[in-house]
């Protein structure tokens, strides 16, 4: 990686992505969204956030806000902070995939899950044969919200 690929504070951007650092005037260009995030933190909507904005190969904004928790002694969020995105898999990956398949005529929202995934009927619980793709996407299937897999795996 060339020296001109380094971000202003000497840290490197992800080597798999070549972005031109254009964050020099991020405070002016993103004053409104930055203030909205700060206001949400002040209102205790969430304790912290990280934001990156890219467009056409340019990094336009990259900033951390707030702290990891509401505890004032909690570490500050830095722009380089790595986040656990596991809980975003369903709304981003699964829903996007379902939308694309629906758009292309390859997935019916009213199809029973057992037609798409026969193993679903083998799982514990009555009524699974009536659960549709739409019900799962709308969280209206009547299935439990989650299973504590970490507890099951540890034998608790």
Greater pLDDT, 119 or 12: 119
Q: How far apart are CA 54 and CA 8, in angstroms?
A: 16
User: Which helix H or strand E contains 59, and what residues bound it?
Assistant: strand 58-66
Q: How far apart are CA 33 and CA 41, in angstroms?
A: 12
Q: Token pair for residue 16? A: 């798999």
Confidence of residue 134 (pLDDT cuts 50, 70, 90): very high
pTM: 0.50
pLDDT at position 120 is: 82
Confidence of residue 37 (pLDDT cuts 50, 70, 90): very high
| Backbone φ, ψ for residue 20 (5° rounding) | -85, 130
pLDDT digits (tens, 9 = 90+) for 62-86: 999 999 999 999 999 999 887 766 6
């Amino acid at each position: 990686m060339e020296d001109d690929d380094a971000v202003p504070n000497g840290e490197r951007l992800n080597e798999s992505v070549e972005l031109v650092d254009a964050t020099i005037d991020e405070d002016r260009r993103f004053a409104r969204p930055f203030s909205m995030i700060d206001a949400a933190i002040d209102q205790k909507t969430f304790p912290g956030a990280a934001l990156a904005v890219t467009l056409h190969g340019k990094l336009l904004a990259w900033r951390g806000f707030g702290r990891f928790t509401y505890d004032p002694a909690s570490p500050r969020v830095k722009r380089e902070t790595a986040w656990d995105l596991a809980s975003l898999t369903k709304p981003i990956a699964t829903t996007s995939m379902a939308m694309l398949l629906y758009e292309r005529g390859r997935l019916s929202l009213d199809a029973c899950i057992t037609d798409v995934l026969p193993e679903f009927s083998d799982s514990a619980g009555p009524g699974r044969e009536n659960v549709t793709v739409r019900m799962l996407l709308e969280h209206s299937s009547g299935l439990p919200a989650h299973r504590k897999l970490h507890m099951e795996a540890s034998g608790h």
